[in-house]
Chains A and B, each alone.
Chain A
Amino acid sequence: MSEPTLTAVLPDERGYFGEFGGSFVPEILVPALEELNEAFLTAKQDPAFQACYHGLLRDYVGRPTALTYAERLTERLGGGRIYLKREDLCHTGAHKINNAIGQILLARRMGKTRIIAETGAGQHGVATATVCARFGMECIVYMGAEDIERQQLNVHRMRLLGADVRPATSGSQTLKDATNEAIRDWVTNVRDTFYIIGSVVGPHPYPAMVRDFHTIIGEEVKTQLHEKEGRTDPDMLIACVGGGSNAIGMFHPFLRNTSVRCVGVEASGEGLDGRHAATLTLGKPGILHGALSYLLQDEEGQVSLAHSISAGLDYPGVGPEHAWLKQSGRVDYVSATDQEAMEGVQLLSETEGIIPALETAHAVAGLARLAGETDPDDLIVLNCSGRGDKDMQTIAEALS
């Protein structure tokens, strides 16, 4: 197998990014994935679909989201000029809705009547429940029983929006297990059901499709940065990585320009020698939820339990494109602990008046460490992927 170059169109026709990705699913799902891939490729080329998608992003989501110059954070960290891509200002409070809008339009186009989703922090669940309410479609969201406990606010939001939130009670009762349950539901109800996956994970074509529905983030950065600074490409991009959707959405339009340093920040939980969710940092290649990627696992190939204070990063897998970007060296992956993330929440709140989600706080923590390596005339863009309202109880407990 020849190594793909950065200018290659990835994934290949079988869904591989280098050696990562592919489709590892029960045979029952094969025709559904082929049908989805065809529908997605056709929709991408269809001006009517694009007009509908971009119209909803503008009038319903509130795009373009602001690119905010973080003046006091820049002063505090003493390096390059920091901009925040304000995905926290999206309707529902995080970037997740970009993808939910795209996928529900595909579901309608394909004549599917029933929507299922998995959720960790509840942001993707809320985004999916929201678009289902908007289009009057049945919505079932699988959520780990433990996550239902720690993300009560989002559970209430989903139920108010009309979704049926079903607890996943197997295994670790978090995102991994909610995803297993969603796949089992899909296997059972594949004929009328559309599975809206919430990150750049899962079997082909999901990693590419979810990415493409989020690249609007990076594309807007180009336009907005040009307006404010006279150049489209910054020196550094930084984003948190759980499955990796907000990061890939921002990085992707910049990957061919290798002078743009891209940094993904994983959750190292209690620390890399304790319980963590730093899949790219410490995982090994493996198969989970339909794709070959990096995976936290033991010597027997049993999937390890991830840990992060942030439910949205508490996942033992990662999108296969990130695995490829790590292996090729194009993106740097670092990590931040629960404690550092909590400091990141306080830092952004105090300097900019923006309370970030705990996921986003990991990117803030990563930047706090790396900003010193940059020059004052460097441009840095941090993906402020979500707002922190949903995490207030966790934050209050951690800071008390």
Chain B
Amino acid sequence: MSRLKAHLESIAAAGEKALGMFITSGFPDLDATPDLLRAIDAGGADFIELGMPFSDPLAEGIPIQRSSERALAAGVTMRQTLEYAADFTASSDTPLLLMGYGNPVMRYGIDRFFEEARTAGVQGVILPDVLPAPDSPFFRAAAAHGVDTVCLVSPTTPQERVTYIDELSSGFVYAVSVTGVTGADKGDAKPIQDYLRRIRPAVSRNALLVGFGIRSAEDVASMVAETDGAIVGSALVNLVAACWDDSDLSHAQRLERVEAFVRELKSGTSS
């Protein structure tokens, strides 16, 4: 069993729910990422997804699009992102995942990427535009190097495909809350809870976590009722952008706000 999976199972065994946090690598500038990862960790995140910026992120809403543009303008590279990961995992046991798109991974070299990710202590990789398939070069390389591949399911996914995705997924299964991009307005909780209740029996091998459009501790509390945990990304990216654009705040104050926001979200997992 992978460390990520064991970690999520131990949280579930304790009757708790997990909180995953997403932040874009190199955003808002190259110096910020190591401190942000530590602040998110200190706030109580159960795992962190570090976003690998891409010029054409077609599953992202405006906040993560803008954060990617800003990180690329700052000059972040894949090598730099792997270094951030290595630095973080050297000092924390909190699982770190990388999330991004297929093309930068392909350009870096699929096998080389997963090998170096493993060396950097990365537990899992999420690539929303790479569909699960047993003979996919991405999935083969990930398996060969012992990196989990977290696959996504959505409200449009038929039940039998949810089962198939659960079989090919490792680490956990990522349920997209609504048909939409990241940061979308998720609307009423009720239809999402109905959908999560429908797919839950089909996800038997992995933990089921939900993300997209989750912004507050209340959102987290309503979304973890039918799952093993929730993932927050765009709301954190928005907060970071606002703090770094506020010149009245010191670096330490910015990081305090991030840590406090994560702590607040984490309170939603234990209500």
Query: Does A190 contact B59, Cβ atoms closer than 8 Å?
Result: no
Cβ–Cβ < 8 Å partners of A299 in chain B: 107
Is there a chain A Cβ closer than 8 Å to B65's Cβ?
yes
> Of B103, B106, B152, B156, which is within 8 A of A303 by CB?
B103
Is there a chain B Cβ closer than 8 Å to A288's Cβ?
yes
Return the CB mask of A182-211 against B: 1 if under 8 Å, else 0: 011001111100000000000000000000
Is there a chain B Cβ closer than 8 Å to A31's Cβ?
yes
Number of interchain pairs (Cβ within 8 Å): 107
Expressed in whole angstroms, the minimum distance between the Cβ of B131 and any Cβ of chain A is 6
Is there a chain A Cβ closer than 8 Å to B216's Cβ?
no
> Of B131, B158, B181, which is within 8 A of A188 by CB?
B181
Query: Does A27 contact B131, Cβ atoms closer than 8 Å?
Result: yes
Cβ–Cβ < 8 Å partners of A190 in chain B: 156, 179
Is there a chain B Cβ closer than 8 Å to A346's Cβ?
no
Task: Report if A171-B154 is in contact (Cβ < 8 Å); known contacts: A24-B130, A286-B106.
Answer: no
**Closest residue of chain A to B128, judged by CB?**
A26
Query: Does B58 contact A28, Cβ atoms closer than 8 Å?
Result: no
**Closest residue of chain A to B76, judged by CB?**
A300
Is there a chain A Cβ closer than 8 Å to B101's Cβ?
yes
**Most chain A C-beta atoms within 10 Å of own C-beta, residue among B58, B61, B105:** B58
Interface residues of A in 299-343 (CB under 8 A from B): 299-303
Query: Does B131 contact A25, Cβ atoms closer than 8 Å?
Result: yes
Cβ–Cβ < 8 Å partners of A25 in chain B: 129, 131
Query: Does A183 contact B58, Cβ atoms closer than 8 Å?
Result: yes
Is there a chain B Cβ closer than 8 Å to A221's Cβ?
no
Task: Report if A23-B180 is in contact (Cβ < 8 Å); known contacts: A31-B156, A171-B55, A287-B102.
Answer: no
Cβ–Cβ < 8 Å partners of A26 in chain B: 58-59, 128-129, 152, 154, 176
Is there a chain B Cβ closer than 8 Å to A170's Cβ?
yes
Cβ–Cβ < 8 Å partners of B176 in chain A: 26-28
Query: Does A187 contact B103, Cβ atoms closer than 8 Å?
Result: no
Query: Does A31 contact B65, Cβ atoms closer than 8 Å?
Result: no
Cβ–Cβ < 8 Å partners of A297 in chain B: 103, 107
A286 vs B55: C-alpha distance when bound (angstroms): 13
Is there a chain B Cβ closer than 8 Å to A370's Cβ?
no
**Closest residue of chain B to A31, judged by CB?**
B156
Query: Does B107 contact A300, Cβ atoms closer than 8 Å?
Result: yes
Expressed in whole angstroms, the minimum distance between the Cβ of A93 and any Cβ of chain B is 30
Report the interface size for chain A: residues with CB under 8 A from the other chain: 36
A27 vs B179: C-alpha distance when bound (angstroms): 10
**Most chain B C-beta atoms within 10 Å of own C-beta, residue among A27, A184, A290:** A27
> Of B104, B152, B161, which is within 8 A of A301 by CB?
B104
Query: Does A302 contact B104, Cβ atoms closer than 8 Å?
Result: yes
Query: Does A303 contact B180, Cβ atoms closer than 8 Å?
Result: no
**Closest residue of chain B to A35, judged by CB?**
B156
Query: Does B180 contact A187, Cβ atoms closer than 8 Å?
Result: yes
Expressed in whole angstroms, the minimum distance between the Cβ of B7 and any Cβ of chain A is 24
Query: Does A28 contact B156, Cβ atoms closer than 8 Å?
Result: yes
A313 vs B265: C-alpha distance when bound (angstroms): 47
A171 vs B165: C-alpha distance when bound (angstroms): 33
Interface residues of B in 43-83 (CB under 8 A from A): 54-59, 61, 65, 69, 72, 77-78
Query: Does B157 contact A31, Cβ atoms closer than 8 Å?
Result: yes
A264 vs B161: C-alpha distance when bound (angstroms): 40
Cβ–Cβ < 8 Å partners of A189 in chain B: 179
A39 vs B106: C-alpha distance when bound (angstroms): 32
Is there a chain A Cβ closer than 8 Å to B241's Cβ?
no
Query: Does B103 contact A287, Cβ atoms closer than 8 Å?
Result: yes
Query: Does A180 contact B180, Cβ atoms closer than 8 Å?
Result: no
Interface residues of A in 250-291 (CB under 8 A from B): 284-290
A28 vs B151: C-alpha distance when bound (angstroms): 12
Cβ–Cβ < 8 Å partners of B158 in chain A: 31
A303 vs B103: C-alpha distance when bound (angstroms): 9
> Of A170, A191, A286, which is within 8 A of B107 by CB?
A286
Cβ–Cβ < 8 Å partners of B61 in chain A: 184
Is there a chain A Cβ closer than 8 Å to B153's Cβ?
yes
Query: Does A302 contact B101, Cβ atoms closer than 8 Å?
Result: no
Is there a chain A Cβ closer than 8 Å to B184's Cβ?
yes
Task: Report if A288-B128 is in contact (Cβ < 8 Å); known contacts: A28-B179, A31-B156.
Answer: no
Query: Does A184 contact B181, Cβ atoms closer than 8 Å?
Result: yes
**Closest residue of chain B to A1, judged by CB?**
B135
A286 vs B65: C-alpha distance when bound (angstroms): 20
Interface residues of B in 167-181 (CB under 8 A from A): 176, 179-181
Residues of A within 8 A of B (CB): 23-32, 170-171, 176-177, 180, 183-184, 187-191, 284-290, 295, 297, 299-303
Residues of B within 8 A of A (CB): 54-59, 61, 65, 69, 72, 77-78, 101-108, 128-131, 151-158, 161, 165, 176, 179-181, 184
| Closest CB pairs A-B (n = 7) | A301-B107, A301-B104, A28-B154, A302-B55, A287-B103, A188-B180, A287-B102
- In the complex, besides A190-B179, A286-B106, A287-B103, 14 extra interface pairs with C-beta distance below 8 angstroms are A23-B131, A24-B102, A28-B179, A30-B156, A177-B56, A180-B56, A187-B179, A188-B179, A284-B107, A287-B129, A301-B54, A301-B105, A303-B55, A303-B103
